Structure 1
Amino acid sequence: MSRPILPVDPLPCVVLSCIGAVEGDMNVVRALGAVGIPVILIGEHEAPPASLSRHCCEFIRVPDFARMPERLRDVLETLAQRHGEPLPVIPSADPDLQAMLTLQEQGATCFVPTWPEAALTRTLMDKQAFDRLAVAQALPVPLGFAPETLSEAREASERLRYPAIVKPATPVAWWHQTALPASVRRAKAIRVESADELMALCAQLLPLRAATLVQEFVDGPDEEHFDVHAYIDREGRVQAVFGGRKWRIWPPHAGSGCFVESLDEPALEAQALEILQRIGFRGIANMNFKRDARDGRFVLLEINPRVSQWGILTTRCGVNLPWLAWREACGLSMPPQPLRGQAGRWYVNALKDWHAMRQYRAEGLLGPLAWLRSLLHRPMVCQTFSVSDPWPAMKLTARWIAGKMRSRSRPAPAVTEDAHKTRHR
């Protein structure tokens, strides 16, 4: 995509960066900066890597803003006063978006939203509410249930085909449940192989009122996961569409794309756009599908009203969704023709892909040589490394090395005789 013509003094765009999701922010900062839009990064971290990007003109730390959105409102009010008008805001992850929805619903006017209307956004972010919407609109989704009691879970368990997937109903529904194991609290989804496994997991979740959705697993390997990214303007016109195939995901079987190929899939794109029009969607859409190995049809897993965590590939393929969101928020004209993604480009998140390969290898699904050969695909887009914007990657590398050195310098825990006997029983 050629560099667009901008106003002489373009209005800055605010990008949000929350703890626990530190990659989407860098994608948005680079996407905006690449076309000359000044970026103000607001983050919960003390120094997120995206703050070192050459495209970041200002970094403001607002600790814990996801839980206390009023802190974010104060900063946005100050920025609006400084620039003489509210600034567009682009969230980069679910906690950011939830904080902005709270401010929007409270009537705050110190920012320009770039997401769909609040009620639809809430519905899409709540998997139970989305399941109800999908049934009402006859969307092609897996069979799902939202049990609130163990008896409801038992009834659902008898109607499902296995394996099944268990998800938090909202992005943070399990996060603050300290009674749950860390592996459960942080999971995006958990695969269960039988009714007994499902009931064991529900026995942990439901007594804590941890909102949960149970869905049938769509049969097929991880490489049958596809995404469609799109932008629909306020008039309902399609301004951009992009298709990608996730060849590897992290965590495997229930995670986000860590090795992705851009592709031309007109039938899937048409299906995705028809769904967005049916539900009245406006703004940036990140739609997740999986192709069912039994019949070849694409099944809709979720619609995220925000950028993807690997959205930098979308931008490098000519579909700059943050730029479109900024333009519309600023009242500028949109491109004369819809943007379409270029096929045949690749993306890798090196660290996550390394971890994914190790698990795939343990399951007998991928060997190291095949993994290395896959990384020879060109052109390749890296999540953090960029020749033109190297400092974020250097910071992440230094942080990783420091973490390894600290872990090696810690003394090994003493093993008592009793513990030794217990371990080898």
Structure 2
Amino acid sequence: MTTTETGRPAKTGASRGGPGALVIGGDYQGLGIARSLGRRGIPVAVLDDEVSIAPRSRYVRHAMRVPTLRSAQATTDALHEAARRFGLDGWVLFPTREETVAAVAQNRDELARTFKVPTPSWETVRIAWDKRQTYQVAERLGIDVPRCWFPRDEADLSAIPMDSPVIIKPAIKEHFFYETGAKAWRADTRAELVQKFREATAIIPADEVIVQELVPGDGARQLAYCAFVKDGEPVGSMTVVRRRQHPSDFGRASTFVETVDLPELEAPSLRLLREMGYYGLVELEFKRDERSGTVKLLDVNARTWGYHGLGAAAGVDFAALLHQDQMGLPVPSCRARAGVRWVRLATDVPNALRDIARRRLRLMDYLRTLRGIDVGAVWAADDPLPALAELGILPRLAIRRGL
């Protein structure tokens, strides 16, 4: 296995000692985990298959880069190699991408002989991983979801009414995303639906294609319930509005997020999580349908999410809560306060400029939203090197996956 590595002490003062955390993925999401734990004196290692920014953090003690983490076997082998190389027995795993969550869940028993594995079992994770199961379980529980169709071939498309736009999306994100760089495609006419279905089935099997009604409204109607769940209850929780996303129509990632009070999201979220027998960190994405005012479930992410660092600024440090629980320590219940803002400027600014050019956003309105930002995805005064490193790799990220 080809690897590169660093092995330097974190510059955080005295470490509390004991098992640390192995973060699988070194993008800004992994950086947020490293900072959350590193600031508490908890040692952190990062494993990635890309050039990434988290290894530049002062809070990362070890880093290892491998050729790929796209398969379950490659991920499992890399985790064992990292444990052997750095002495990570008993450390807590933090996967940050769908495919690494799936790999850890599928090999949970084997990995648990070396690591602490907070990722739930595969029987639980696959309900979130495969959107066909997500929507079917949600509907059975009476949770509102957008209308969905599961065509097996082109002939099935004729049964889908085209009285409003639809989207074509994959049941399993990584089978589609790495090929297209898109989360979903829009179709406004039946001809477009047929064409997009043909394009999709050239990439993924027909039975992995979902056709779904397009819930109208922009990113400001994208909502989320985020939590650390244990024994069916939210130990820590946060509700947010995803005010801007990249791209604006079918956001692959949030770019500007604010905590808000949305108690209506808790009941359906917990109903689903209890049915799944879920433990750990989770984000459930919803969208408010402006036609009816109801919120509809879009997605379940069985891992940390891109803006999880917003939680710490709002009083709920999700990564720290999970690590603390894995160490067998008491974890206090907490709920995020409203009005705290998070931004990822590297994607928010260029996306806003595109929307301004299309007259979908006014420049002064955009600039006003940047006043009083509480936490950034990458920049931190006590840990500036990752932000400098990001400037160097942004062109590569833009080409490879559109940031």
Which range, TM-score by smaller chain? 0.7 to 0.9
Q: Percent identity?
A: 24
Q: Mapping of 1:321-332 within 5 angstroms? A: 321-332=318-329
Runs of 4+ in 1 over 4 A off after TM superposition: 105-108, 400-404
Deviation digits for residues 87-137 of structure 1 (CA, Å, limit 9, x no counterpart) = 210111212212222322767632222222221101211112222222322
Deviation digits for residues 15-66 of structure 1 (CA, Å, limit 9, x no counterpart) = 0116xxx221111111222222111111112x42100111111112222133
Distance 1:208 1:44, change over 3 A: closer
Give the Cα separation in 1 of the matches to 2:157 and 2:214: 16
Give the Cα separation in 1 of the matches to 2:396 and 2:134: 42
Q: Mapping of 1:368-407 within 5 angstroms? A: 368-376=363-371, 378-400=372-394
Provide the residue aligned with 1:48 in structure 2: 52
Q: Find the partner of 1:133 among 127, 134, 137.
A: 137
Provide the residue aligned with 1:246 in structure 2: 242
| Cα RMSD after superposing both structures | 2.5
Distance 1:189 1:399, change over 3 A: same
SS in 2 for 1:196: helix
8 Å CA contact 2:286–2:297 kept in 1: the answer is yes
Distance 1:363 1:163, change over 3 A: farther
8 Å CA contact 2:21–2:44 kept in 1: the answer is yes
**Partner amino acid for 2:348?**
D
**Partner amino acid for 2:174?**
V
Provide the residue aligned with 1:227 in structure 2: 224
Q: Does residue 280 of structure 1 match 2:277?
A: yes
Provide the residue aligned with 2:11 in structure 1: none
Provide the residue aligned with 2:289 in structure 1: 292
Q: Find the partner of 1:215 among 212, 217, 222.
A: 212
TM-score, normalised relative to structure 1: 0.83
Give the Cα separation in 2 of the matches to 1:306 and 1:189: 21
C-alpha displacement of 1:205: 1.8
C-alpha displacement of 1:316: 1.6
Q: Mapping of 1:18-417 within 5 angstroms? A: 22-45=27-50, 47-67=51-71, 68-78=74-84, 82-83=87-88, 85-104=89-108, 109-155=113-159, 157-158=160-161, 161-175=163-177, 185-210=180-205, 211-233=208-230, 235-255=231-251, 256-335=253-332, 338-376=333-371, 378-400=372-394
8 Å CA contact 1:24–1:92 kept in 2: the answer is yes
SS in 2 for 1:111: coil
Q: Which runs of 5+ in 1 are unaligned?
A: 1-5, 178-184, 405-425
8 Å CA contact 2:15–2:41 kept in 1: the answer is no
8 Å CA contact 2:283–2:300 kept in 1: the answer is yes
Give the Cα separation in 1 of the matches to 2:290 and 2:80: 50
**Partner amino acid for 1:301?**
L
C-alpha displacement of 1:387: 0.5
8 Å CA contact 1:232–1:238 kept in 2: the answer is yes
Structure index of larger Rg = 1
Distance 1:402 1:91, change over 3 A: closer
Provide the residue aligned with 1:409 in structure 2: none
C-alpha displacement of 1:208: 4.6
TM-score, normalised relative to structure 2: 0.87
Q: Which runs of 5+ in 2 are unaligned?
A: 1-13, 399-403
Distance 1:154 1:250, change over 3 A: same
Deviation digits for residues 128-156 of structure 1 (CA, Å, limit 9, x no counterpart) = 2222222322221111122221112332x
Give the Cα separation in 2 of the matches to 1:307 and 1:282: 13
Report how many residues are paired: 380
Distance 1:403 1:238, change over 3 A: closer
